[in-house]
Amino acid sequence: MECLLQKTKITMLSNCLILLMVGQAFSIPKTEEVTWYPTYHLAPHKGWINDPNGLIYHNGYYHAFFQHNPENIPEGTKHWGHARSHDMLNWEYLPIALSPSLEDDIDGIFSGSAVNLNGKLTLIYTGVSDNLNKQRQMVAISSDGVNFEKKGVVITKEGDESYFRDPKAWFQNGSWWVVIGSQTTDKLGEVLLYSSKDFFNWTYQGVLAGGNGSLGYMWECPDFFTINGKQILVISPQGLEQDGFNYQNLYQTGYFVGNWQPEQNYTIEKGFREIDHGHDFYASQSFLAPDGRRIQISWLDMWESVFAENVTGWSGMFTIPREISLNEFGDLVSKPIREIIGKRTPNTDIFDTIISSNQMLTLKNNVFSSEILIEFNLLNSSCKAIQLSLKEEPTRDEGVVLYVDIELSRLFMERYYPKYGIDKTNRSVAIDLSLSKLSLDIFVDSSSIEVFVNDGIAVMSSRIYPNNNQRKFSVAPVDGFVNVSLTSYDINVNNQ
């Protein structure tokens, strides 16, 4: 996936330049101290990242590759950066895995995936050339998991090759399969399917799934996998129009639920739904952990965002790796990986109390690298709304607010950092308040917030840019009292 290809090349070049200019237009006031580099999220020490690529567990390591520009330029030529980990939280950064070098990838190394091919870590990726007009699928192989030898082009597309990218490969029923994001001649998004016996000679199997005018003009970063006997197709469509509370970001990432077997059509049972409802979530990719868990990681950013951190030499980060499952209603459930429990400090803040009407209570004074588990007893509460804030003082405007609207049965997230060009905007998700309790598992890591609602039935993820004095976490009921319990931890991780 690539910024310059999201609409027309000219339009997006203009947009990306605006992003860069906005990011460089401000400077951090000398009176402010900021700590924006994350503790337990994967982010570059230097340079730019966007989509996660090549996620795989191989020979004792979790590998994460990523779209990377070493010079920290969003629209710059993309490489594949590389990191590995034993637990998906402590990451060791390795040399750049793939750089433009061949005729077919000279303009960039776009997104792709990784497989174990005869014991070797093997990458399939989109090589870009001809001023971004040619996008072809290419392969590179490593014997040591660090250094890669390119094998050249393995899949091309007849006709227009400018919207043909992001291969996701897997092995099933004695064959290799790959899905690739594409666009029809009518400029509608679609996902194409190919198969191979050897990973180098591929046969076109047709369109796995295609959209209509309501599902955008391009489907990027497809992912296709099985959970509970159902086949899940994840896509990142471009061009969806906002629909009420839905599709409020520039681009979305969501999923279909259906049935598919080799040589059969994909039958969709549940239509497109967003995975995450925050400001920043895109280009998901998943893989299997050794114990069979399906792990999903996404880019915790969005293309229209102001990347305020770029003045400190880096831009972009990934979400917490998430264990995903399908519940009995066919809904995708996302939970933070269980490995994070081992990174909690033993010192915890714990309390259970009733907060009176319009009273404000500070739950935690310094939220930098934290997990906050908060539960509201709805049977023992009378308020019309609940407000949680991460600010210098709860009554001040700048910062982040989580707002539980009891009457609308929605959770809103609002952020506002005017000095960094981030206007006041909110995102929201429907929540089930017929239950006796509402639980929020909130992760704040320097410049991000991720909120898991009711054990992961909904998630909201956004980038935030507080200074070091804007990290007071408070709660207040609106027009009534609320029964709240809280447990909080600091998360300690050492990335190399």
Of 233, 307, 260, residue with least CA distance to 50: 307
Look over the chain and give the mean of its residue pLDDT values, rounded to a whole number: 92
Q: What is the pTM of this model?
A: 0.94
Domain that holds residue 362: 344-490
Q: How many domains does the chain have?
A: 2
281 with 175, same domain: the answer is yes
Tell me which of 287, 318, 336 is where a domain ends: 336
pLDDT digits (tens, 9 = 90+) for 342-397: 999 977 778 899 999 879 999 888 999 999 999 999 999 999 999 999 999 877 89
CATH code: domain of residue 395: 2.60.120.560
pLDDT in tens, 242-268: 999 999 999 999 999 999 999 999 999
Q: Which two tokens stand for residue 82?
A: 């590389």
**Residues 104-130: what's their mean pLDDT?**
98
**What's 224's domain CATH number?**
2.115.10.20
Q: State residue 31's pLDDT score.
A: 67
Residue 495 lies in a domain: no
Asked if pLDDT for residue 4 goes beyond 70, the answer is: no
Say whether both 388 and 249 belong to one domain. no
Q: Tell me, yes or no, whether 323 and 407 share the same domain.
A: no
Q: Is residue 380 domain-shared with residue 397, that is, in the same domain? A: yes
In a domain, 382, yes or no: yes
CB environment 29-53: b (16+ within 10 A), e (fewer) = eeeeebebbbbbbbbbeebbbbbbb
Q: Does residue 204 lie in a domain region?
A: yes
Question: What pLDDT is attached to residue 16?
Answer: 38
207 and 332 housed in the same domain: yes
| Same-domain pairing of 352 and 302 | no
DSSP, residue by residue, 267-306: EEEEEEEES--SS--EEEEEEE-TTS-EEEEEES--TTS-
C-alpha–C-alpha distance, residues 301 and 129, integer Å: 26
Task: Answer yes or no: do 47 and 95 share one domain.
Answer: yes
Catalytic center residues: 51
Considering the domain boundaries, does residue 496 fall inside one?
no
Whether residues 233 and 363 fall in one domain = no
